[in-house]
Structure 1
Amino acid sequence: MEQAKKGFIPVMLTPFKNNGNIDYDALTRLTELYLQAGASGLFANCLSSEMFELADEERLQVIKHVIKIVNGLVPVVATGTFGGPIVKQADFVKKVHDTGTAAVIAITSLLADEDEADEVLNDRVFDLFAQTPNIPLGFYECPVPYKRLLSPQQLHNFVATGRVIYHKDTCLDIKKVRQKLDAGKANPAFGLYDAYMAHAVDSLKAGSAGLSCIQGNFFPELIVWLCDNYADEALQHEVDMVQEFLIDNMDVMHNVYPVVAKYYLTKRGLKISTTTRRDVGHFSSSVRIQIENLYCNYTHLQNAVGIKNYL
């Protein structure tokens, strides 16, 4: 597992027109950017996609559009659980699977309430398995409506069924990541993708299948480069530079996200509106200056490391 090629799975944005409608032309351009940058898969209909602000039909249409543009080049995963009785969640999982996804992602915090025990979550997961036979599944420890982390033992039990092939980890703890990686060995097809870029290199070295992070919505080619070169001894100085850059700019990229990501992409030349449906705060002049500084700093890093620009 440690020697396998690592991959970057973008958590996709959803572009909107100024009137709030989904901009499918911009979604095409964005999908093509991820592919050109070297993404090994795509995570559509996730939190970065503003999935909670989309109607069910919009969620399905976005997933179908992405799969159409991808045209089999890489696998696409997408969220399929949005709360309510398991029978309802299972029904939408089937609809998402029917679009052609490689796996349907379950949100851990929508399978059990915050005050419910792990045993309740476990029962509901296995109920979901039973009601969605033969559909490959994954988990996402989404921070909304609250963050519910899976324990290594829970992950082992789920992965051992052979049904779980993907996990987007948000525990932010490299020790727990290592424990989950050990737990995931129950199924060779399983891959853990880390969302936390402060320990990106350590996670890749520990055996993560790759990275799935919001930073890829600013510079996807940088995350691909890191996945490709993290273990290259001849490039360790450059790898250290990239890791430090990700740590130093963590807060900037999380502030007023995903507006800032969309604005950053316009700086790079992508035709995309900064319109969002989520209220993520005010995109102030000071925030704008921070993103423009990020753009300059990344340009310097890009030149120093020798990373190709795909826009």
Structure 2
Amino acid sequence: MTITVDGIIPVMLTPFTQNNKVDWDGYSRLIDWYLENGTTALFAVCQSSEMQFLSLEERVELAKFTVKQVSGKVPVVVSGHVSDQFSDQVHELNAMAETGADGVVLVTNRLAVEGDTSDTLLRNVDALISALPEDITLGLYECPAPYRRLLSDDELIHCAQTGRFSLLKDVSCDLDIVKRRIALVKDTPLGIVNANAAIAWPAMQAGSTGFCGVFNNIHPDLYAWLYHHGSAYPELAEELATFLVLAAQAEAMGYPKLAKHYHKRLGTFSETVSRVQDYDIFERFWGVSPILDRIAQGSEFYRGKVSGLVK
């Protein structure tokens, strides 16, 4: 049966030690932080996890660790879908399905080469559905690396009508497209989960079934308040949404290392090592430190404003 995966869904980070191994203690603290801050599902082994730079063994271990620690408190979906060859994709996705995760997320740019407008993606989707366990919930992710492959309307409808898909992590960054997609998947198990902070609040208002943007690694509790309670406090929701949009612009200044520095400040991580970025973000992007200061201050300010409003 396809389970529901919606709400505030962080794309999980992977902390590393100084010798470039997974920092399991830091990862454990991160999971607890997510659960304490309003998340309703977790997306592990994704691009924010640096999945393209993880071995299959590491991907599997991250998924297993997440499932074990979460212990059913919220759904856990995993991807790790990085291979080029279809046979390798079948192998890696089945390995992820065997970790105990609630769902496996297919990456759209792995399903057809860039520029392919034929029915290749649909044929590969159907083949993967047949190759994966019948009881595993599936998701779709328009991952922007190595290139962004948006689904066509026909491809989206096809996937929705299989009944196997619970979510599309939408990376269109276009409110009109999100609205159209919400209408296209109506009365199917597939929900449209927006990933773009700039349209997070209007997408929620339009019927997006959640938010899965990278700044769920900074203040997921504020997105959670917006998602669950914003409609009851429209003026404050608009004010908070503006802050969240502006804060998210810092993503361009060295994410995911940016978020790792934030979590080092919080005490979640001991190190900020990244396999994606081997440079010092403070040298490349001047002014990052005071920006992080202001994001932290603004987050606390709005936590104060929303605190006590909901009984």
- Post-superposition offset of 1:120: 1.6
Measured in 2, the distance between the counterparts of 1:164 and 1:72 equals: 20
The aligned residue for residue 167 of structure 1 is 168
Q: Report if the CA contact (8 A) 1:8-1:40 is conserved.
A: yes
Runs of 4+ in 1 over 6 A off after TM superposition: none
Measured in 2, the distance between the counterparts of 1:307 and 1:117 equals: 51
Length, aligned pairs only? 302
- Post-superposition offset of 1:307: 7.9
The aligned residue for residue 303 of structure 1 is 304
Measured in 2, the distance between the counterparts of 1:111 and 1:88 equals: 12
**After superposition, what is the alpha-carbon deviation per residue over 1:109-144, rounded to whole angstroms, capped at 9, x for unaligned?**
111111222422122112212222513211100000
The aligned residue for residue 265 of structure 1 is 263
Q: TM-score, normalised by structure 2?
A: 0.91
Measured in 1, the distance between the counterparts of 2:52 and 2:30 equals: 20
Measured in 2, the distance between the counterparts of 1:280 and 1:141 equals: 25
Structure 1 range deviating more: 245-254 or 97-106: 245-254
1:149 corresponds to which letter in structure 2?
A: L
Q: Using a 3 Å threshold, how does the CA distance of structure 1 residues 163 and 80 change in structure 2: closer, same or farther?
A: farther
Q: Report if the CA contact (8 A) 1:230-1:239 is conserved.
A: yes
The aligned residue for residue 194 of structure 1 is 194
Q: Report if the CA contact (8 A) 2:51-2:80 is conserved.
A: no
2:271 corresponds to which letter in structure 1?
A: S
Measured in 2, the distance between the counterparts of 1:246 and 1:186 equals: 31
- Post-superposition offset of 1:182: 1.5
**After superposition, what is the alpha-carbon deviation per residue over 1:183-221, rounded to whole angstroms, capped at 9, x for unaligned?**
22252x322211011111211121111111111101121
The aligned residue for residue 207 of structure 2 is 207
SS in 1 for 2:281: coil
Measured in 2, the distance between the counterparts of 1:48 and 1:104 equals: 16
Q: Using a 3 Å threshold, how does the CA distance of structure 1 residues 252 and 145 change in structure 2: closer, same or farther?
A: same
The aligned residue for residue 275 of structure 2 is 277
1:137 pairs with 2:150 = no
SS in 2 for 1:112: coil
Q: Report if the CA contact (8 A) 1:104-1:138 is conserved.
A: yes
Measured in 2, the distance between the counterparts of 1:251 and 1:60 equals: 32
Q: Report if the CA contact (8 A) 1:114-1:146 is conserved.
A: yes
Q: Report if the CA contact (8 A) 2:46-2:80 is conserved.
A: no
2:128 corresponds to which letter in structure 1?
A: L
**After superposition, what is the alpha-carbon deviation per residue over 1:244-298, rounded to whole angstroms, capped at 9, x for unaligned?**
0012222213320011111112223434421111127531152222212222222
Structure 1 range deviating more: 63-72 or 266-275: 266-275
Q: TM-score, normalised by structure 1?
A: 0.91
Alignment of 1:237-256 (within 5 A): 237-256=235-254
SS in 2 for 1:84: coil
Structure 1 spans left out of the alignment, 5+ residues: none
Structure 2 spans left out of the alignment, 5+ residues: none
